Structure formats: C-alpha cells, structure tokens
Structure 1
Amino acid sequence: MKKFYIALSFAAALLAMPATTVSAEGNKIVLDLANPANPESFDFDDKGVWTGTYSEDYMYWESQVFMFTHILGGSSWGGSYWDGFTVSRNSDNTDHAADGWLAYQWGCMAGGGITNVDETTGEVSVSADRPYILGYWSGFPEDCCTILFNDGNSYSPAGVYISLSPYAYYANINGASPASPMQNEGDFLSITATAVDADGGKTSVTKILAEYRNGKLEQSDKWEWFDLSSLGKAEQIIFTMDSSDKSYGYMNTPAYFCLDRLTVTTDDLSGVEESKAVSSEFKIYAAGGTLNIEAPTAAVAAIYSMSGTQVRTAQVAEGYNTVQIADLPAGVYIVKCAGETTCIIKK
C-alpha cells in the first residue's frame, strides 16, 4: 500500500537501535546495513539491488540513527526512475558501454561492500556479497542525496568510504553519451558534502573523484576515505556532485557514487529514558496537507526544509493543533517544537 505520509517517532527509533551501534570510545557510530530500521530488512532482486529502489513508499530509509533520502521528488514515474540513496550488493565493476548502462547502473568499482578496515595499515577488505550504499545525484531537487539523523541529536561526521560507480568510472575513460571522456587538462569529477547545523549554518568539503592532469586521467577503483571531520556538528549532510563536463549548466558525467561505513561521533547522546520522556509529551505527525501537533503546553512550532531554510512558524496552544502545509512542495521537512525534533514527509 502506498504511504501518503510517514511521521517518525524519535524515541521509538532510538529504542529499536541495536546497542552495538554506539561504541563506548568517543560515542562513535558506524553505518551497518545489517541493522536497518525502515524497512526492517533489505530484500534484493536478481541484480543484487534493494527491491524498494523504485518504490514510492520510501522517501527515506533508515539504518541505526541514519536516515537516507530516496526518490525525494515523490514519483518513480511508473517504476522507471529513482534518485537519492539505495542499497546494493552488486559487485559488478566491468564496462557495460556496449550493453547500455541503465541496466547495469548498480555496480561498484571496489567490487563490493567493506567487511573490515585494518586499523594499523588502513587496508580495506571487501566482499562481493556485502551491501553498500549506491547514490544517484539527479540534482532535482539539489538536496536529493541527504542524510539526516532520526533521534533528535546533532552529530559530528568523521568520514565515509567512497568508491566510483562503474558507470561514471568508464564514462570518464571512454565517454557515455552525453558524457565525454576526460582528456583535457583540468577535467574533473567531484563530490561535495555539506553539513547543515542546528541554526541552518552550512559547512562544506569537496573530494575530487577523477581528474585529468599532467596528461593522464587519475581515478581510483578502490574504496577511498572521504574525511568529513572539518564539517563540525550537523543535523543533516547533503551530498552533491560536480563535473567539468556540462551542458546548459547540468552535468553530463553520470552522477553515481558508492558509500560505505559512514562514521559520526557525538559528545552528548541523549539517554533513552530522557528521549522517551520528551517525545511522549509532544505528538507531531502529518496527514495530507495538515501538520497535527498535540501539545501539553503552549509553544512555537518551526518547520524547516532539508536545506535548513525555515519555511513556516506557528503558535501552538495547549491541546490539539493543526498547521496547514498543503502549499509546501513535496519532500522531507524538519519540525522543531519546544525541544522536540521530528521529520515529516509530505507528498
């Protein structure tokens, strides 16, 4: 059944989070796709791709404290389109230019997800059966590849492993219409991570994924560490891509990338009992074009877009309140009210 809206209870998500996801050392959380919360498990098709990739039931999916956007525009165009993040365990890293790339867009140049990272040498071990995140940045909307946190806390991103998609990797070498091969000095493909903090402030860091310099193309077919430690505390992380190959301002280079072992830290994780107490007082949920708030006391509700822009405020009285959101574009919004933070999805 198609969901018209999804409202998230942060306390419930926190209780469902496996105890092993938070380490005692530095409150570090490392993404583990074996512990999803929404859906409760990932099913894969014969290509090794999550069966919900083209489903409009999920405008985000969750694992541990992480919430990943998926088809943020709300439509898969009859099951033929997706963007944002999906999950893949497709290990294919061969060149499929002769076959047509759309049927083979699911692979990873590193050959699979990460099973282990040697703390001494930094050597990364990979398994073909290990799932990883596949991202597609369509640019419509620009924040279609966004990671939020589902427990109401801000986190400090430490970093994430990134690998090129075969689609982009081989397009950089041979071209893949409309993309041209990288063969001119300064040609590049990059990815940028932008952190949005609690006040809407933004900090960004960029990593070059491929570059033509000194007469040759340089790009990696391994998992590479993308250091995000300069971003500071964040309520969300937005990934965008850029390339030297553009037409009318839009990228021609395939905007696919792979992620694994996203790592964040926090200095102050809220306790489960404290989160339960706060969340049990205010009830915030969306239904159609209305935001419903059941409040134990008067407060001000503020609604933010995923880019951190405040799009609406409303005075909330004690008891049952409704706030009209029918005019807001479809997408994910953050609602803050008297210390309570909730994500809603409007279609």
Structure 2
Amino acid sequence: MKKVLYFLTVGLFLGLSSCNNDDAPLSNESASAVAKNVSGTTKKTVTDPAIGTTSTLNLTSSLLTSGITTTGGKYWENTYVANTNLNVDIFTFSHTGTSSGYNYWDGFIVSNVNDITNYGSGSAPGGSDGWVPHQWGTMAGSGFGSSSTIAAGTPGTTGDPYIVAYWSSYLDPKNPQGTTFSESGFSNWIKIGNTGLYKVEGLKINMHPWPYYGCLYGDGFARAFASGDSFKLLIYGVAEDGTVTNPIVHTLANHNGSSLVMPTGWVNVNTSNLQSLGEVKYLVFQMTSTDSDLVYGMNTAAYFCLDKLSVKRVD
C-alpha cells in the first residue's frame, strides 16, 4: 500500500511540472488505468522483409535528436506524450504516456543516458524519490555497439542508444499463457513486422540501475536481497492465432546463498529458449520478484533494458 500512496503523493505533486523538465516523475501504477484509456496507439505501416530475411534492431542517435536532456544524456521526447508507440525498423514497441495533470509512462522508450548513480536515498516517503528524475539509465552505461566500451557512469559522455522498459503490472493479466493477446491488454509488447511470422534469434538484456541498487541495498520499497531471492524477466510469444505462449525466463538477479549475482554488462538471452517460443507475431514481457506483495505486486522496481533484438521471417 505504501508504494501506491508514494506514487499518488509524489507523482501527482511533481507531475505538475513540464514533461520536458528533469523533474518529470516516475509513472505511478494507480494512475495506469486512466493512462491506458487516453493513450491509444499510433499506427505505422510496416513492410515485412522477404521470407528468410534476418532483421536486427538498430538504434541510432537520430532517435534522440530532439530527446529530453537529463543527467548523462537524453531520453525519448515522446516519453510523456499520449497516442505514441516507439517505431524502429520493423519493430513497434508499446508505450503509454500522459502529461495531463501528472506525468506517466510505461512500455518502452529509447535512451542514451550514461549514468549509473545510486539515487535510492531520498527525503520523500519511501526513500525512492531520487529515482524520479533519473529513471533513464542502464548498468552497462551504453547500448551494445561501437560505443559499448565506454565506461558506465563516465561524466560528460554518452554511448549508443538502448531501450528502457517499465512494466506496469496493474492491468496485465497474470499467467497469461494460453489466453488471447490484445495490444490494449498488456503493458509491454513488441510487434514484429506487419503480417508475417518470425523466429526470435537473439536478444540482449541489461539490468536497470533502479532495481540493481534496490536488490543490492533496498530502496524504501524494495528490500535488499538475501539468500533465495531472485528477480526475473518473463518473455512470452504470441502465435499466429493470437494465443500467448508459455514464457521463457531470463534471470536478472539471483542470490544463490553465498552472493548476489547481477551482471552489469549486456547478457544474451539463451538462444535455444528464444527459439522455443516458436513462430510469433509479438513478444510480451512481464517480470517477477521474490520481494513482492500478494495484493500490490512487486516491490522491486519493474525496469529492464534491451538491445539487438534479432528475428528471422519464416512465413
């Protein structure tokens, strides 16, 4: 309950600021039902590549030409804009945003922020208000590419763009495998191409700074992880008939009893697992943590980062 109250209090207060301001607040889950209704979808016609063609997500600096400047780089200009999805190459990334009375977003955005500071100690209720204007980073400090050798957190430098995801579990169905997918029914999905079917051949995942430090030290909502704790990303496919597949699991953080394992570099999702999703039209992402409330869901901050999604058209 304190998580919901925190976002109601801090989100509504700070949400009066402009969405072009670094004080733009974290999305608040209690407002997501309203935000979902006003967001909608921006349609873009995508041409499927020829059957047998492999396409890999290529995030370029042009995506951030008009981005919002913050500590360590820029994030997507449409983060708090309604009726927008992020379209890159043959991929359409879900996105919900609003700046009407408060600032809210979920789904996916693009960023090149090279800032891995721990903002977990703040003065507002919950101790996480420091993250509100700094939710744009990745622990690698850069996307996976020619600039990936840039040291994370180096002042005054930015690297290659990458995708930041925030999962709002408020409306997502739990254990959705076997159900029929709809774009409006899920927070985080990626549509691949237009009408074709695809095999997923590669995907790189990186830890976001907020859950990284939350698992390590706690952050006011989340507690520091202890033996047996884990934080995982669930990846579902959507088959040709619209049915959601069984998920594959990618572990972001795991306390094995002797240490907390959280890779800070880009990690490949197991290729065999990705291909086991079968022939898909969409990917759907959810998260799970052992630090959760039965009513209000995860205490661990529901962020992750991705890059280099690679797919092959098969039909």
The answer to whether the superposition gives a TM-score over 0.5 is yes
* SS at 2:247 equivalent: strand
* SS at 1:87 equivalent: strand
Contact 1:31 1:261 in 2 (8 A): yes
Q: Which runs of structure 2 are paired with 1:89-100 in the superposition (5 Å)?
A: 89-99=112-122, 100=130
Q: Which amino acid aligns with 1:240?
A: Q
* SS at 1:29 equivalent: strand
Q: 2:211 aligns with which of 168, 178, 186?
A: 168
Q: 2:101 aligns with which of 74, 78, 87?
A: 78
Contact 1:113 1:126 in 2 (8 A): no
Q: 1:221 aligns with which of 264, 285, 288?
A: 264
Give % identity: 30
Alpha-carbon distance between aligned partners in 2 of 1:208 and 1:27, rounded to the nearest angstrom: 30
What residue in structure 1 maps to residue 229 of structure 2? 187
1:30-69: CA deviation from partner (whole Å, max 9, x where unpaired): 0012298xxx8752111111111011131x2211111100
More helix, by proportion: 2
Alpha-carbon distance between aligned partners in 2 of 1:211 and 1:75, rounded to the nearest angstrom: 34
Alpha-carbon distance between aligned partners in 2 of 1:5 and 1:247, rounded to the nearest angstrom: 30
Instruction: Tell me how far 1:155 sits from its aligned partner.
Output: 1.0
Q: Which amino acid aligns with 1:251?
A: M
Alpha-carbon distance between aligned partners in 2 of 1:4 and 1:207, rounded to the nearest angstrom: 29
Q: 1:236 to 1:172 in 2, by over 3 A?
A: same
Instruction: Tell me how far 1:220 sits from its aligned partner.
Output: 0.7
Contact 1:85 1:134 in 2 (8 A): yes
What residue in structure 2 maps to residue 114 of structure 1? 144
Q: 1:29 aligns with which of 55, 65, 74?
A: 55
* SS at 1:83 equivalent: strand
TM-score, L = length of structure 2: 0.71
Instruction: Tell me how far 1:134 sits from its aligned partner.
Output: 0.2
Contact 2:75 2:112 in 1 (8 A): yes
Contact 1:162 1:225 in 2 (8 A): yes
Contact 2:58 2:88 in 1 (8 A): yes
What residue in structure 2 maps to residue 266 of structure 1? 313
Alpha-carbon distance between aligned partners in 2 of 1:125 and 1:29, rounded to the nearest angstrom: 24
Q: 1:139 aligns with which of 161, 169, 175?
A: 169
Alpha-carbon distance between aligned partners in 2 of 1:200 and 1:69, rounded to the nearest angstrom: 17
Contact 2:191 2:282 in 1 (8 A): yes
Alpha-carbon distance between aligned partners in 2 of 1:235 and 1:108, rounded to the nearest angstrom: 27
Q: 1:233 aligns with which of 279, 287, 293?
A: 279
1:122-149: CA deviation from partner (whole Å, max 9, x where unpaired): xx65683311000000113322010012
* SS at 2:141 equivalent: coil
Q: Which amino acid aligns with 1:114?
A: F
Q: 2:132 aligns with which of 93, 97, 102?
A: 102
Instruction: Tell whether 2:108 aligns with 1:66.
Output: no
Q: 1:103 to 1:207 in 2, by over 3 A?
A: same
Instruction: Tell me how far 1:116 sits from its aligned partner.
Output: 4.7
More strand, by proportion: 1
Alpha-carbon distance between aligned partners in 1 of 2:94 and 2:293, rounded to the nearest angstrom: 26
Alpha-carbon distance between aligned partners in 1 of 2:99 and 2:82, rounded to the nearest angstrom: 6
* Bigger CA radius of gyration: 1
Q: Which amino acid aligns with 2:225?
A: M
TM-score, L = length of structure 1: 0.64
What residue in structure 2 maps to residue 289 of structure 1? none
Alpha-carbon distance between aligned partners in 1 of 2:39 and 2:165, rounded to the nearest angstrom: 24
1:7-51: CA deviation from partner (whole Å, max 9, x where unpaired): 7463xx32xx9xxxx699x51100012298xxx875211111111
Instruction: Tell me how far 1:188 sits from its aligned partner.
Output: 0.5
Alpha-carbon distance between aligned partners in 2 of 1:109 and 1:192, rounded to the nearest angstrom: 20
The total of aligned residue pairs comes to 244
Q: 1:80 to 1:256 in 2, by over 3 A?
A: same
Contact 2:291 2:299 in 1 (8 A): yes
1:255-301: CA deviation from partner (whole Å, max 9, x where unpaired): 11110011111134xxxxxxxxxxxxxxxxxxxxxxxxxxxxxxxxx
What residue in structure 2 maps to residue 57 of structure 1? 83
Q: Which amino acid aligns with 2:215?
A: N
Contact 2:193 2:281 in 1 (8 A): no
Q: 1:211 to 1:23 in 2, by over 3 A?
A: farther
1:152-190: CA deviation from partner (whole Å, max 9, x where unpaired): 11111112111011001000011012110102x210100
1:56-110: CA deviation from partner (whole Å, max 9, x where unpaired): 131x221111110001xx6455351111001111011121223511111111100
Alpha-carbon distance between aligned partners in 2 of 1:168 and 1:200, rounded to the nearest angstrom: 32
Contact 2:64 2:76 in 1 (8 A): no
Contact 1:31 1:64 in 2 (8 A): yes
Long gaps (5+) in structure 1 = 118-123, 269-347
Q: Which amino acid aligns with 1:56?
A: A
Q: 1:200 aligns with which of 242, 247, 254?
A: 242
Q: 1:217 to 1:6 in 2, by over 3 A?
A: closer
